[in-house]
């Protein structure tokens, strides 16, 4: 690791004031330190935000939940309110990383983790995300793990988070604090597609710090499922993951449906309008297959990842079938 | 906060490691693992991958299992740490250490300190009880010798004996 200066501000305002182009905030550090050891990240200053009062999970006046940015992944997954009212979130978190990493990694940091594209991690090769304009060896290289949706000529990387896929499905908001004050970003707008500027994973300004995630009132408590498909049974990134939520009418038709995909794009993949168009359709395997076909209609494979399109379709069908079969809770 | 450093410098920290207080001056880029091994001669915690992927460096930070290789020492100021060296009570082995011997749960032994510290953290979390749950909850610790079945058996046997303050 390159030497760097270290500070530990006492307030959000101080932290934001200390931000800058050569500085990085650190909380859990599980991704940042890894990248610093590889010289992918070389900040000259590291701002330790673990002294800030952002470690709380509390109910919002509107019946939702506000999750402080410093709440660890393990605390969040096992928080009684989350287990009882947002089981999709618990399932997604526990499908990711290892118990050690979940004890360390923060909620805010999870959103900001970088892609695990091998080429991004290797400073000896070009990468448009690391060095804009240098090229993308993944596009014609080892791209089995890479994107099938929303990719660009410049970048085919995928976002690695499981937590974010559930947050996308649950319509979370990201609360950020910057020098200009605080703003709330709908989760669907937080991460971005690579386009011609893959170096930008999200729309945060340099001085902005994630302070909390806000969840609306619980939905799909009974009928939800996070299904993650990976190369081994545990402790691996998703090839494809599905966060599915379902509400059914008395005659077994779709009242509401949510599906977010992980492992397939530069951000969690969701189409709210397509979901709404399914309302009133019978809850059946044929409906799930039709929905999957439509959600994947623009999928474009690279040389080594065509299997992901079939895998995604089958994972969507399975996740929705399992959500449908889930028992109503008392 | 009085001043904001812009140049690299060292920082004073205080750590409680295996019950002993250490007052140290550390550069911010020093990982907890390098501090333990290189500065304090606590070489039980191992450096496997140095990227949080293998779990050989697992220690307990304020009772929770973490990867020491991805932890900055400077961020541990005021914390309580337990390493493999702090588990036995004199000559009396920790129940997990004894169970690893009973079940022959290692071959080369390099991953063992991390496996045992991880299992102590697992017990404290209180979430994993069945064999399948133990397997899942130990997935952050790799064993290249492939002693997994014996490791899981050791953890399974030791779990009921790990209630109480020695955790």
Which residues from A are below 8 Å from B111, CB to CB? none
Q: Give the pLDDT of residue A329.
A: 47
Asked whether residue B44 is assigned to any structural domain, the reply reads yes
B64 and chain A: CB distance < 8 Å anywhere?
yes
- Provide the 8-state DSSP code for A327: P
B105 and B72 part of one domain: no
Class level of CATH domain A224-325: alpha beta
- Give the end of a domain, one of B86, B108, B142: B86
- A328 pLDDT band, cuts 50/70/90, is low
Taking residues A139-150, report their average pLDDT.
98
Taking residues A80-99, report their average pLDDT.
98
| Nearest chain B alpha carbon to A10 | B1
B34 and B54 part of one domain: yes
Taking residues A94-98, report their average pLDDT.
98
Which pTM does this prediction carry? 0.97
CA distance B134 to B127: 9
Range A321-328 contact pairs with CB under 8 angstroms and sequence separation of 24 or more: A321/A285, A321/A288, A322/A225, A322/A227, A322/A244, A323/A220, A323/A223, A323/A224, A323/A225, A323/A244, A323/A245, A323/A246, A324/A223, A324/A246, A324/A248, A324/A283, A326/A222, A326/A223, A326/A224, A326/A225, A327/A222, A328/A222
CA distance A12 to A30: 21
Asked whether residue B73 is assigned to any structural domain, the reply reads yes
Q: What is the CATH number of the domain that holds B39?
A: 3.10.20.30
Domain ranges in chain A? 5-50, 224-325
Which CATH number is associated with domain A5-50? 3.30.43.10
CA distance B104 to B115: 13
Helices (H), chain A: 12-18, 32-37, 73-77, 80-85, 87-94, 99-104, 107-112, 163-169, 187-190, 272-277, 285-295, 307-325
Cross-chain residue pair B7–A5, CB shorter than 8 Å? yes
B52 and B79 part of one domain: yes
How far does A34 lie from chain B, in Å, by closest CA? Answer: 6
Q: Give the pLDDT of residue B7.
A: 86
Taking residues A31-56, report their average pLDDT.
98
Q: Give the pLDDT of residue A54.
A: 98
* For testing contact with chain B, the best of A98, A118, A233, A235 (most B CBs within 10 A): A98
Cross-chain residue pair A99–B52, CB shorter than 8 Å? no
Asked whether residue B1 is assigned to any structural domain, the reply reads no
Cross-chain residue pair A1–B29, CB shorter than 8 Å? yes
Contact A48, A6 (CB under 8 A): yes
Which residues from B are below 8 Å from A36, CB to CB? 29
Asked whether residue B119 is assigned to any structural domain, the reply reads yes
Asked whether residue B69 is assigned to any structural domain, the reply reads yes
Taking residues A256-273, report their average pLDDT.
98
Q: What is the CATH number of the domain that holds B102?
A: 1.10.150.120
- B160 pLDDT band, cuts 50/70/90, is very high
- Give the end of a domain, one of B86, B121, B136: B86
pLDDT of residue A327 exceeding 70, the answer is no
Cross-chain residue pair B67–A235, CB shorter than 8 Å? no
pLDDT of residue A195 exceeding 70, the answer is yes
Q: Give the pLDDT of residue A307.
A: 98
B18 and B75 part of one domain: yes
- B4 pLDDT band, cuts 50/70/90, is confident
pLDDT of residue A230 exceeding 70, the answer is yes
Q: Give the pLDDT of residue B1.
A: 47
Look up residue B46 and give its two tokens.
């191992």
- What ipTM, to 2 d.p.? 0.96
- B3 pLDDT band, cuts 50/70/90, is low
- A169 pLDDT band, cuts 50/70/90, is very high
Which residues from B are below 8 Å from A14, CB to CB? 1
Judge whether A5-50 and A224-325 match in fold: no
Which residues from A are below 8 Å from B141, CB to CB? 98
Q: Quote the percentage of chain A above a pLDDT of 90.
A: 98
- Give the end of a domain, one of B86, B116, B150: B86
Cross-chain residue pair A4–B29, CB shorter than 8 Å? yes
> What is the average pLDDT value for chain A, to the nearest integer?
97
B75 and chain A: CB distance < 8 Å anywhere?
yes
pLDDT of residue A153 exceeding 90, the answer is yes
Of B67, B136, B137, the CB nearest to A104: B67
- B5 pLDDT band, cuts 50/70/90, is confident
Taking residues A190-206, report their average pLDDT.
98
DSSP per-residue letters across A48-70 = E-TTSS---EEE-TTS-EEEETT
B7 and chain A: CB distance < 8 Å anywhere?
yes
- A105 pLDDT band, cuts 50/70/90, is very high
Lowest-confidence pick of A165-174, B48-57, B155-164: B155-164
Q: Are strands A45-48 and A23-26 parallel, antiparallel or unpaired?
A: parallel
Chain A positions contacting chain B at CB under 8 Å are 1-10, 14, 18, 26, 29-30, 33-34, 36-37, 44-46, 48, 50, 74, 78, 97-101, 103-104, 233-235
| Nearest chain B alpha carbon to A9 | B1
B23 and B76 part of one domain: yes
- Domain with B126, as residue range(s), is 95-161
> For chain B, how many structural domains are there in total?
2
pLDDT of residue B137 exceeding 90, the answer is yes
B80 and B49 part of one domain: yes
Of B31, B66, B75, the CB nearest to A100: B66
| Nearest chain B alpha carbon to A11 | B1
pLDDT in tens, A120-142: 999 999 999 999 999 999 999 99
- A23 pLDDT band, cuts 50/70/90, is very high
- B87 pLDDT band, cuts 50/70/90, is very high
Look up residue A13 and give its two tokens.
């305002």
Which residues from A are below 8 Å from B31, CB to CB? 33
B66 and B128 part of one domain: no
- A330 pLDDT band, cuts 50/70/90, is very low
Which residues from A are below 8 Å from B45, CB to CB? none
pLDDT in tens, B104-132: 999 999 999 999 999 999 999 999 989 99
Q: Are strands B58-61 and B64-67 parallel, antiparallel or unpaired?
A: antiparallel
Asked whether residue B2 is assigned to any structural domain, the reply reads no
Asked whether residue B166 is assigned to any structural domain, the reply reads no
Cross-chain residue pair B75–A100, CB shorter than 8 Å? no
């Amino acid at each position: 690791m390159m030497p760097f200066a270290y500070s530990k501000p006492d307030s959000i305002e101080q932290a934001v004031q200390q931000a800058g182009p050569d500085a990085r905030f650190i909380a859990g550090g599980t991704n940042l330190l890894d990248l610093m050891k590889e010289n992918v990240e070389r900040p000259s200053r590291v701002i330790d935000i673990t002294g800030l009062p952002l470690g709380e999970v509390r109910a919002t006046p509107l019946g939702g939940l506000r999750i402080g940015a410093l709440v660890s992944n393990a605390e969040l997954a096992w928080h009684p309110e989350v287990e009882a009212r947002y089981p999709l979130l618990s399932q997604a978190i526990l499908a990711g990383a290892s118990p050690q990493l979940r004890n360390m990694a923060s909620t805010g940091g999870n959103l900001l983790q970088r892609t695990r594209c091998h080429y991004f991690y290797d400073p000896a090769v070009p990468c448009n995300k690391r060095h804009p304009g240098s090229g993308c060896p993944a596009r014609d290289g080892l791209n089995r793990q890479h994107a099938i949706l929303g990719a660009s000529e410049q970048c085919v990387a995928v976002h690695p988070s499981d937590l974010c896929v559930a947050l996308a499905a649950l319509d979370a908001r990201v609360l950020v604090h910057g020098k200009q004050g605080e703003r709330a970003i709908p989760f669907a707008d937080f991460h971005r597609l690579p386009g011609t500027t893959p170096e930008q994973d999200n729309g945060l300004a340099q001085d902005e710090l994630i302070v909390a995630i806000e969840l609306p009132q619980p939905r799909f408590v009974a009928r939800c499922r996070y299904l993650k498909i990976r190369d081994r049974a545990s402790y691996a990134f998703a090839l494809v993951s599905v966060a599915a939520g379902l509400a059914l009418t008395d005659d077994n038709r779709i009242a509401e449906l949510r599906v977010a995909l992980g492992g397939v794009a530069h951000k969690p993949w969701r189409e709210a309008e397509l979901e709404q168009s399914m309302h009133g359709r019978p809850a059946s395997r044929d409906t799930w297959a039709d929905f999957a076909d439509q959600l994947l209609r623009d999928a474009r494979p690279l040389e080594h990842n065509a299997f992901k399109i079939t895998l995604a379709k089958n994972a969507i069908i399975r996740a929705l079938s399992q959500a449908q079969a889930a028992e109503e809770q008392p | 906060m009085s001043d904001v450093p812009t140049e690299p410098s060292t920082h004073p920290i205080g750590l409680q490691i295996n019950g002993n207080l250490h007052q140290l001056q550390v550069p911010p880029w020093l990982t907890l693992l390098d501090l333990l091994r290189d500065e304090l001669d606590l070489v039980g915690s191992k450096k496997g991958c140095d990227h949080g992927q293998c779990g050989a460096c697992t220690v307990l930070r304020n009772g929770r299992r973490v990867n020491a290789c991805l932890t900055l020492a400077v961020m541990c100021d005021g914390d309580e740490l337990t390493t493999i060296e702090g588990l036995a009570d004199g000559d009396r082995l920790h129940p997990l250490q004894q169970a690893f011997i009973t079940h022959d749960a290692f071959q080369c032994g390099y991953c063992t300190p991390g496996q045992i510290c991880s299992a102590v953290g697992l017990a404290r979390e209180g979430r994993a009880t069945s064999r399948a749950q133990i397997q899942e909850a130990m997935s952050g610790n790799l064993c290249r010798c492939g002693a997994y079945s014996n490791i899981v058996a050791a953890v399974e046997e030791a779990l009921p004996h790990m209630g109480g303050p020695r955790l």
